[in-house]
Structure 1
Amino acid sequence: MLLPQVLQSLTDQGVGPADRLLLGFSGGVDSLALLHALRAANQAVLAAHLDHGLRPSSAQQARQAGELARSLGAGFITRREDVGAYAAEHKLSIEEAARKRRYAFLFEAAAAEGAAAVLSAHQADDQAETVLMHLLRGAGPAGLRSMQPRWLPNPWSETIPLLRPLLGVTRAELEAYCLAHDLTPIEDESNADTRFFRNRVRHELLPPLEAAAPGAARRLTQTADLLAAEQAVLDALSQAAWQRSLAARGAEYLRLSRAALRGEPLALQRSLLRRAWSELGAPGELSFETVQASLELATGPSSVGRLDWPGALQLWLEGDALWLAAPEADLPLEWPQAEAQPQPLPVPAALDLPAGWRLQAGWAAAPAGWAAADGLQAWLDADTLPGPLTVRRPQPGDRFQPLGLKGGHQRLSDFFINAKLPQRARAAWPLVCSGEAIVWVAGYRPAHPVRLQAASQRVLHLQLTHSMP
């Protein structure tokens, strides 16, 4: 019954009899049975084998896989890689490194060969193992739904799907199929190596679980099916929440709105963090502990904070912004910033600053309610200014007497902290000075000594504006 089941699964996924397929082929029971069934249906198949270079016998296994594939009338391609070196370089487990390089190879080959899809021979027992592995790692619903029959788009292609037509077939059924068709699979000795997590689950955890609760593996796969259907609904809700929360993104960073994140239900908050993780191409699943710690930081009262994520990523706060990026990522600066050298500010005049900001100075009458205006404007008593206006960056030891502070000064660094000015913005924040005195921290507050009073005669109007590029 394997052939009709496989063909129906492929038909359901949009594969036609004339499509050329690429199959990840180890020569083991699963991939051998699938290749035989496909060739029995006269499907054009290219078997692809990655030699991971992890064992002395791996080259011989690659040769055997090629002979086996060609004996069934399939094309065959192979490549050898040093997965151990790749794992060490990228600080990955051998399992994760092998998976990443294997799928990269399969999709590169599929694109080069014009294949309509990449096929994996994962079957029902693999699915049960995957559910259990994800459960033990604290995965959410997206992780517990485990492997899907069709994956597109995927991390390797926007146009070539990854198909798994054997998810409804057990290992025992595939072994029986090979026996019935006189097929001799290649024994992969790495499948018995319990240093690998999947093999420990397969050999040491599932058998006693099945003995204690017969049918446990089948029910685990049913759980995956149930969660897949429910996750589809959550995905639709999550997509809408993502559009509400995503404030900016680049190749190496994401910025979410904390206010938007706080407004979502807990399930969607968790989903958004996992989405952010996957959007940056990070491998694997986020642990429950990482998600919880991240949410406590992101939805809490603090405006600053930082948390290390796996995969050399960091999550940190900047006011309402929640950033996720590598520490060395080139992040956009969206605040006004002054040039490295002080610049004169004549009156009237306009001074262009980086990133589309402009600082304007002119003479104007103060409007009613000027004291309650937003920080992007300031009205000063021009007759109290001690000297010509300049715009500069902060300097060590700067002190400032903000409007309302009637006695003494405060350190500019303390003012920045109290104003919750993001750390990255402080070093080049524009200061309007008159002589040596800071008369306006642009975008925030004017100085108390130059404030407007009832007797003020000449009014200097300063304004920050921003035009989007």
Structure 2
Amino acid sequence: MILPSGPRWSPDHLRLHRHLRRHPELLPEGATLLLAVSGGQDSMAMLALLLDLQRLHQWHLQLWHGDHRWRPESGRQAAELAAWTAAQGLTLHIDRWEQPPAAPNTTDQHSEAGARAWRYGQLEARARELGASHVVTAHTASDRAETLLLHLARGSHRRGLASLRSLRPLAAGSSPLLLARPLLTFSRADTGRLCAQLDLPLLHDPCNNDRRYSRNRVRAEVLPVLEALHPGAAVRISTQAERLVDEVNWGGELVDLALQALGSTSASQATPALQRQLLVGLAPANQRQLLHRWLERHTKQVLAARPLEDVRQRLQSGQAPGSAHLGAGWQLRWDRSTLWLDPPAPPPPP
């Protein structure tokens, strides 16, 4: 490989460049990308890296900033960010939440969820307007490590542990819109160092230091301990999450083959069924995986870990026939030999 020379080329630029060459679907060459720029260190580092790599990948870069209007200074900071990007010859598209709810507090998770939904809704609308194929966010390995640790603490299923995927659909449609996260191989320490080296302006959000929020506590109190014990822990945890993504995405092929062997020959298309005795003869971990996949495939919903385990326990040999409501009208029922999945009843005729 002939390495490009010129201004602002560093080992970090080379690392991201090689990562994108290995994964061309992440930020395809020549694509129109909409970058979500908060003004914090992660998004500013991402912006600087992609601007410097633009000449190699021929992207068309568009920038977006969302002003939630939760803080009095947010409007001023958005204007400062717009002035800086304009000085770089860039256009920053700013959306302001006209009627935001109250800022989130220790007991109210709805405001945070509402803000997230608003951001992604605005990003989708802007991307459609600008003809972008990818919305790009600056989530790092540190973000993914925090998310995985929180999901572990909550007892999430493996799908929940395969969090913050590097590429996923953002919205369906005639032109599917993708959400890309190219910085998942970089830690927060990396982006901080990059911002200092490149002398990038940063916007400070005091909410990021508020330890009333669980993520901030993990960031300030848990990850530093892990990094002190095992330097580079965040990146390794993030890499493990990526392996889980692969297992979730492609391990289902093997599970589907196993489900074919467990299918009941007496089952109709409208009523999926499994052979109960064959299922409970397997190891508990395999029972959970097969049940989880089977239920998700037919109901299009994910059963949480605890109710899934409750159902599995009730299916064991020696347990009586029974049934379980799964939500959204789906019902699971079983006798001593067979397990059936009944779909929701059709609505009554008008």
Matched position secondary structure for 1:167? coil
- How far apart are the structure 1 equivalents of 2:297 and 2:171? 13
Query: How far apart in 2 are the matches of 1:298 and 1:177?
Result: 55
Cα 1:294/1:26, change in 2 over 3 Å: farther
Q: 1:26 aligns with which of 34, 38, 46?
A: 38
**1:367-404 per-position Cα deviation (integer Å, ceiling 9, x unaligned):** xxxxxxxxxxxxxxxxxxxxxxxxxxxxxxxxxxxxxx
Q: Choose between structure 1 and 2: higher strand proportion.
A: 1
Aligned to 1:394: none
CA shift for structure 1 position 111: 1.6
8 Å CA contact 1:294, 1:307 repeated in 2: no
| Residue pair 1:24, 1:49 contacting (<8 A) in 2 also | yes
Residues 262, 54 of structure 1: alpha-carbon distance in 2 compared, 3 angstrom cutoff: farther
Give yes or no for contact 1:107–1:156 (8 Å, CA) kept in 2: no
* One of 48, 53, 56 as aligned partner of 1:36: 48
Distance between the aligned counterparts of 1:261 and 1:163, measured in 2?
A: 41
Q: Distance in 1 between matches of 2:192 and 2:254?
A: 41
After superposition, residues 306-321 of structure 1 pair within 5 angstroms as: 306=325, 316-317=331-332, 320-321=340-341
Kept in 2: contact 1:273–1:291 (CA 8 A)? no
Tell me the TM-score normalized by structure 2. 0.73
Work out the CA distance in 2 between the residues paired with 1:32 and 1:53: 20
Cα deviation, 1:175-225, whole Å, max 9, x if unaligned, reads 221112111211121211223222121112222233344443233123213
**Gapped regions of structure 1 (runs ≥ 5):** 249-254, 325-330, 338-353, 355-469
Q: Take 2:109 and 2:68, find their aligned partners in 1: how far apart are those partners?
A: 14
Deviations 1:440-464 (CA, angstroms, capped at 9, x unpaired) = xxxxxxxxxxxxxxxxxxxxxxxxx
Query: How far, CA to CA, are the matches of 2:116 and 2:211 in structure 1?
Result: 17
**Alignment pair present for 1:61 and 2:77:** yes
After TM superposition, the structure 1 = structure 2 runs for residues 241-252 of structure 1, keeping only pairs within 5 Å, are: none
Q: 1:262 to 1:7 in 2, by over 3 A?
A: farther
Contact 1:123–1:170 (8 Å) recurs in 2: yes
The answer to whether the Cα contact below 8 Å between 2:171 and 2:177 also exists between their aligned partners in 1 is no
Judge conservation of contact 1:261–1:269 (CA < 8 Å) in 2.
Answer: no
Seen in structure 2, the aligned counterparts of structure 1 residues 289 and 16 have a Cα distance that, compared at 3 Å, is: closer
Q: Return the letter of the residue paired with 1:9.
A: H
Corresponding letter in the other structure for 1:198? R
Q: Partner of 1:45: helix, strand, or coil?
A: strand
Q: Who is 1:137 aligned against?
A: 154
1:47 to 48, 63, 67: 63
Which of 117, 124, 140 is the matching residue for 2:141?
Answer: 124
Residue aligning to 2:116:
99
TM-score by length of 1: 0.56
Distance change in 2, residues 1:119/1:305 (3 Å):
same
Are the counterparts in 2 of residues 66 and 76 from structure 1 also a CA contact under 8 Å?
yes
Paired residue type of 1:2: D
Match of 1:233 among 250, 253, 268: 250
User: Alpha-carbon deviation of 1:316?
Assistant: 3.8
1:269 aligns with 2:291: yes
Instruction: Describe the SS at the equivalent of 1:259.
Output: strand
Distance 2:294 2:104 in 1: 28
- Map residues 451-466 of structure 1 onto 2, 5 A cutoff: none
Q: Secondary structure at the match of 2:177?
A: coil
The CA RMSD over aligned residues, in Å, is 3.8
Deviation digits for residues 380-435 of structure 1 (CA, Å, limit 9, x no counterpart): xxxxxxxxxxxxxxxxxxxxxxxxxxxxxxxxxxxxxxxxxxxxxxxxxxxxxxxx
Q: How does 1:113-192 map to 2 (within 5 A)?
A: 113-151=130-168, 153-154=169-170, 159-192=176-209
State the shift of 1:115 in Å. Answer: 0.6
Matched, 1:77 2:74: no
Cα distance change of structure 1 residues 304 and 193 upon mapping to structure 2, 3 Å threshold: same
Q: Distance between the aligned counterparts of 1:135 and 1:212, measured in 2?
A: 19
CA distance in 1, matches of 2:275, 2:126: 42
Q: Which residue of 2 aligns with 1:346?
A: none
Residues 29, 174 of structure 1: 8 Å contact kept: yes
TM-aligned CA deviation for residue 18 of structure 1: 2.7
Q: Which runs of 5+ in 2 are unaligned?
A: 1-10, 280-286, 335-339
Q: Secondary structure at the match of 1:161?
A: strand
Are the equivalent residues in 1 in contact too, given 2:147–2:163 (CA < 8 A)?
Answer: yes
| 1:430-449 mapped onto 2 (5 Å cutoff) | none
Structure 1 residue aligned with 2:24: 13
Counterparts of 1:85 and 1:242 in 2: how far apart (Å)?
Answer: 48
Cα pair 1:48 1:76 within 8 Å, conserved: yes
Contact 2:37 2:65 in 1 (8 A): yes
- C-alpha displacement at 1:262, in angstroms? 8.2
C-alpha spacing 1:238/1:154, structure 2 compared with 1 (3 Å): farther
Instruction: Specify which structure has the bigger relative contact order, considering alpha-carbon pairs within 8 angstroms and separated by 6 or more residues.
Output: 2
Aligned to 1:385: none
CA shift in 2, pair 1:122/1:276, >3 Å: farther
Q: 2:214 aligns with which of 155, 180, 197?
A: 197
The 3-state SS of whatever aligns with 2:165 is coil
Note if contact 2:41-2:192 (Cα within 8 Å) is conserved in structure 1. yes
2:274 partner SS: helix
Report the alpha carbon displacement of residue 275 of structure 1 after superposing the two structures with TM: 6.0
Q: What percentage of residue pairs aligned between the two structures are identical? A: 30
